[in-house]
Structure 1
Amino acid sequence: MPHFPLQQLAVSVLCSLAAVGVWAQSAPVAETEDTTARYQLTYNWQHHNAFKAGYSGANSLSSQSERMYTFSTTAHWGFRPWQDGELYFNPEVAAGIPFSGNLVGLGGFTNGEITRAGGSTPKLYRQRLFVRQTWNQGGEQEKVDSDFNQMAGLVDKNRFVLTAGNFSTLDVFDDNAYAKDPRTQFMNWGNWTYASYDYAADARGFGWGFAGEWYQDNWVLRFGRMTGPKEPNGLPVDFALGKHYGDQVEVERGHMLADQPGKVRVLAWRNRAQVASFNDATQWLQSHPGLQTTPQALIDVRGGEKIKYGLGVNIEQAISPSVGFFLRAMKADGRTETYAFTEADGSLSTGLVFKGGLWGRTDDAVGVAFMRNTLSPERRGFLAAGGMSYFIGDAAGATQTLSYRPEQVLEAFYSFQMTRGTWLTADYQRIQNPAYNADRGPVHVYAARLHAEF
């Protein structure tokens, strides 16, 4: 299959690792920063075994043994143009090839980087361009550490923060200390946000809009509106924010439990867009026999604005300084097709992360997680009728109907720090009932990931 040229990859990796070593040894950590320039590089290689498949359809994951990869390198540049203001710009180069030559056959995909990869030729694009303004409102102060798209400094515990421009909904909403970043933590989509959170974004996962955050001691209220795609899961952005959009509201409460910190977040979201109703699409299939091998049913019944919504809870809890627990659970209404994320209407993910200090390697980590994704009756009925949606459709063009079961994923990883700023991660995922089909699988996925920060 096509792949990123190994010579170019080797040069990029070696140059990045050398830069990491020099920067890590010489760069001081400022208490307050007025500018920032940080970079990352990630290469993720994955392989799945050949697996049992009673049948395959037009959007099935191949049952033959396969490999895939993603590569990305990103610059995170920022400065303070005025008091308490921050401006950030992120150019990124990305490449990659998914399993089966297309992003199909799963609800919980195995690599969070694949949404930004568009083939074996590396592509440069603008990932983010946004401004952040903070209005401090008194109370005690707390330190903000230097990080990607975050400059070190001091802020009031009581403050209001506005983010506006080109960014990802997930930059602000649904944070979690233990399961958030597919470049450094778990790789599966269902572990870096709710699988059933159909958040508004373009095909790469970004959009235009605004988000407000009101901090009051241990409480945070967040709200925001973001653009979605002109067509479901497409790259062109629909800028009609008064007509088509994704809204979200999140309440967060920080607490101490047995002297260990934790947070609980409740997130509600609502999309308004031109998307297809599954019941309408199922009726279209029944009146157009022989056309189940294309997504034409969904395309033909799109028209008029429809509402899609969901509600979820997100928990992170330190059990000890070296052990953390997380849980996410969400339910979406599931009456309309996927707008911008993946094929799931209910999702649960939970797990533990162990820091390497437990065995004398402070910057290593081990994680283990379980995910369970479900579909609504309306989506199941469409697939059982032979329908094909954006990502799944085992029965489309097959001689059998869908044997529905919830998709279940077990994921475990070990992140090993090679040098300061570079990590090598081994990851394993076992997927039971891929694409919600008990007649296929299980699928075993093995991965190796190289990640560097400087």
Structure 2
Amino acid sequence: MTLYKLPLSLLCFALCAAILPATGYAQVQFAIGSSVDDMEGAKVAVEGETPPADQRWNIHGQATWVDQYHPTFNAPYSGTNSLTPHSNSAETFDATLYLGVKLWDGGEAYFNPEIDQGFGLSNTLGLAGFSSAEAYKVGNNNPYYRTPRAFIRQTFNLGGDLIELEDQANQLAKTITSNNVIITAGKFSVVDIFDTNTYAHDPKGDFLNWAGVDAGAFDYAADSWGYTYGGAIEWNQDWWTLRAGYFDLSIVPNSENIDIGFKQYELVTELEERHEIDGHKGKFKVLGFVNRGNMGSYSNAVALAQQTGTTPDTSLVRRMAWRPGIALNFEQEINPSVGLFARASQNNGAQEAYEFTDINQSVTAGLSFKGDLWNRPMDSIGVQGIVNGISKEAQQYFAMGGLGVLVGDGALTYGLERISEVYYNLGVAKHLAFGFDYQHVVNPAYNAARGPVNIFGIRVHADF
């Protein structure tokens, strides 16, 4: 790690942590919109009691620092988008405020100003399932300001049990009915609402790998930081929820700038089923999406390169096209302290990745354990395995030296990218946690000639 970067980020974290109360640890979960089962602190109101008045406004905050390191690994060659084979470390820091205010009956507005700093390993390149979801595709040595979220939420009650929602980040304390319709519009992340999972979805508190916290082949609309403009509607009814959304794509693939005019867009829908097995809750979700944008075909890029004797480049053959995909998402409580989860996803591998990462097929499965099992109720452990793959067209493109969103070694001896990850979260106090993360990557960026890579990480998270 560069020496001048570490003190700066630690100083930022220390300043933020100093103003956060250290009386209780609570993992930040973004209640931007979802079924009541997803909302932390939701409880059924006691019949006959008068529900408390809705909260008028709230403020919460968080600060997260992550450092990752990998030792030297085998690599006979490297390319523009390769993970460096030399020992390397990198760190990221972010601090966020979550401001909420009630506008009218059922209407709320939320605003999340944020300070970011740092880089992912090798400038967030060299792994299709990148090792830290706290790292963005852009970085800076100095702290800089962003507004990742600014949105309005409207809830329409449709009857059922009265549910009391507690005060938390991006959620005002209020009472709603279990059956409802929720509309969210503005700037936020698609995966704030879609493809959520209780056990694997929050890099501030559980797994870090990109393909572990989100479905790897879900090429969701986003700028280089993971956010976009759009809207979603959710219909929650008894044991099921139906979601649909319409979002802006970037101006060009993997861009810092969003196409505000919705000329390029994503349509996404998700059906969620909720069940119980021997009294233990579970969910199964089916998600479908399609991107409509100016994107390049791998085959066309390869054909042009063969004609001209050059390296294939999808940016030279871009045209308006559709790119569909699907994702399955499962979670099941085994007992109050153990949870099982799995995801499987696939997209059209004929076109280049547009927003997320260079994955055409992905399967993930794992287990999550709460510290009650070993008399450490604020601790947790998670283990998962990830397998990522790309299409035949993509394999040929990268073998000829093409570059993608995150990968491109200049040549390719293809193999499935296989990732194992384990983390341990140590709850120091209710609002402060230290995390330790280890990832073993076989065939990084699908290249059997490079690796394997061992990645070690530490995480410090504070919130109020």
If the length of structure 2 is used for normalisation, what is the TM-score? 0.91
Aligned to 2:47: none
Shift of 1:333: 1.2
Aligned to 1:357: 372
Shift of 1:31: 7.7
User: Given residue 313 of structure 2, which amino acid in structure 1 is its aligned partner?
Assistant: A
Matched, 1:430 2:450: no
- Counterparts of 1:370 and 1:429 in 2: how far apart (Å)? 10
Aligned to 1:16: 16
- Asked if structure 2 preserves the Cα contact closer than 8 Å seen for 1:285 and 1:387, the reply is no
Aligned to 1:323: 338
Aligned to 2:282: 262
Shift of 1:14: 3.1
Unaligned runs of 5+ in 1: none
**Cα distance change, pair 154–63 in 1 and its aligned pair in 2 (3 A):** same
Aligned to 1:110: 131
The correspondence for 1:446, drawn from 436, 456, 462, is 456
- Counterparts of 2:55 and 2:208 in 1: how far apart (Å)? 31
User: Given residue 354 of structure 1, which amino acid in structure 2 is its aligned partner?
Assistant: F
Aligned to 1:233: 254
Aligned to 1:310: 325
- Asked if structure 2 preserves the Cα contact closer than 8 Å seen for 1:48 and 1:443, the reply is yes
- Asked if structure 2 preserves the Cα contact closer than 8 Å seen for 1:4 and 1:96, the reply is no
User: Given residue 385 of structure 2, which amino acid in structure 1 is its aligned partner?
Assistant: F
- Asked if structure 2 preserves the Cα contact closer than 8 Å seen for 1:195 and 1:373, the reply is yes
- Asked if structure 1 preserves the Cα contact closer than 8 Å seen for 2:120 and 2:136, the reply is no
- Counterparts of 2:81 and 2:13 in 1: how far apart (Å)? 34
The correspondence for 2:237, drawn from 216, 222, 232, is 216
- Asked if structure 1 preserves the Cα contact closer than 8 Å seen for 2:182 and 2:234, the reply is yes
Q: What is the correspondence of 1:310-389 to structure 2 with a 5 Å cutoff?
A: 310-389=325-404
Shift of 1:6: 4.3
**Cα distance change, pair 432–5 in 1 and its aligned pair in 2 (3 A):** closer
- Counterparts of 2:112 and 2:11 in 1: how far apart (Å)? 22
Aligned residues: 439
SS across alignment from 1:403: coil
User: Given residue 417 of structure 1, which amino acid in structure 2 is its aligned partner?
Assistant: G
- Asked if structure 1 preserves the Cα contact closer than 8 Å seen for 2:162 and 2:176, the reply is yes
Q: Deviations over 1:373-416 (max 9, x none)?
A: 0101111121122222232111x2xxxx4111110000000000
Q: Deviations over 1:47-91 (max 9, x none)?
A: 011111132222211111100111100111011011111100011
- Asked if structure 2 preserves the Cα contact closer than 8 Å seen for 1:322 and 1:355, the reply is yes
If the length of structure 1 is used for normalisation, what is the TM-score? 0.93
- Counterparts of 2:17 and 2:395 in 1: how far apart (Å)? 47
SS across alignment from 2:296: coil
- Counterparts of 1:13 and 1:207 in 2: how far apart (Å)? 27
- Counterparts of 2:428 and 2:228 in 1: how far apart (Å)? 35
Shift of 1:284: 1.6
- Counterparts of 2:435 and 2:408 in 1: how far apart (Å)? 32
Aligned to 1:419: 429
Q: Which moved more, 1:378-387 or 1:160-169?
A: 378-387
**Cα distance change, pair 434–6 in 1 and its aligned pair in 2 (3 A):** closer
Shift of 1:16: 3.1
Aligned to 1:402: 412
SS across alignment from 2:295: coil
Shift of 1:307: 0.5
User: Given residue 387 of structure 1, which amino acid in structure 2 is its aligned partner?
Assistant: G
User: Given residue 19 of structure 1, which amino acid in structure 2 is its aligned partner?
Assistant: I
Q: What is the correspondence of 1:88-127 to structure 2 with a 5 Å cutoff?
A: 88-100=110-122, 102-115=123-136, 118-127=139-148
SS across alignment from 1:381: helix
Q: Deviations over 1:247-291 (max 9, x none)?
A: 1000001110121001111000000000101110111221232x4
User: Given residue 281 of structure 2, which amino acid in structure 1 is its aligned partner?
Assistant: P
- Counterparts of 1:266 and 1:238 in 2: how far apart (Å)? 27
Root-mean-square deviation (CA, aligned residues, Å) is 1.8
The correspondence for 2:71, drawn from 29, 43, 49, is 49
Matched, 1:33 2:48: no
The correspondence for 1:297, drawn from 310, 313, 326, is 313
Aligned to 1:81: 103
User: Given residue 359 of structure 2, which amino acid in structure 1 is its aligned partner?
Assistant: A
The correspondence for 1:282, drawn from 289, 292, 302, is 302
Shift of 1:22: 5.8
- Asked if structure 2 preserves the Cα contact closer than 8 Å seen for 1:3 and 1:96, the reply is no
Aligned to 1:200: 221
Aligned to 2:273: 253
**Cα distance change, pair 43–116 in 1 and its aligned pair in 2 (3 A):** farther
User: Given residue 148 of structure 1, which amino acid in structure 2 is its aligned partner?
Assistant: A
Unaligned runs of 5+ in 2: 26-40, 42-51
- Counterparts of 1:22 and 1:444 in 2: how far apart (Å)? 33
- Asked if structure 1 preserves the Cα contact closer than 8 Å seen for 2:23 and 2:430, the reply is no
- Counterparts of 1:127 and 1:197 in 2: how far apart (Å)? 20
Q: Deviations over 1:157-216 (max 9, x none)?
A: 111000000111011111110000111110000111111110011111101010000011
Q: What is the correspondence of 1:130-169 to structure 2 with a 5 Å cutoff?
A: 130-169=151-190
Shift of 1:302: 1.1
User: Given residue 223 of structure 2, which amino acid in structure 1 is its aligned partner?
Assistant: D
SS across alignment from 2:272: strand
User: Given residue 88 of structure 2, which amino acid in structure 1 is its aligned partner?
Assistant: E
- Asked if structure 1 preserves the Cα contact closer than 8 Å seen for 2:414 and 2:447, the reply is yes
Matched, 1:66 2:88: yes
- Counterparts of 2:212 and 2:152 in 1: how far apart (Å)? 28
Aligned to 1:183: 204
User: Given residue 92 of structure 1, which amino acid in structure 2 is its aligned partner?
Assistant: E
- Counterparts of 2:16 and 2:53 in 1: how far apart (Å)? 26
User: Given residue 107 of structure 1, which amino acid in structure 2 is its aligned partner?
Assistant: A
- Asked if structure 1 preserves the Cα contact closer than 8 Å seen for 2:124 and 2:137, the reply is no
**Cα distance change, pair 210–98 in 1 and its aligned pair in 2 (3 A):** same
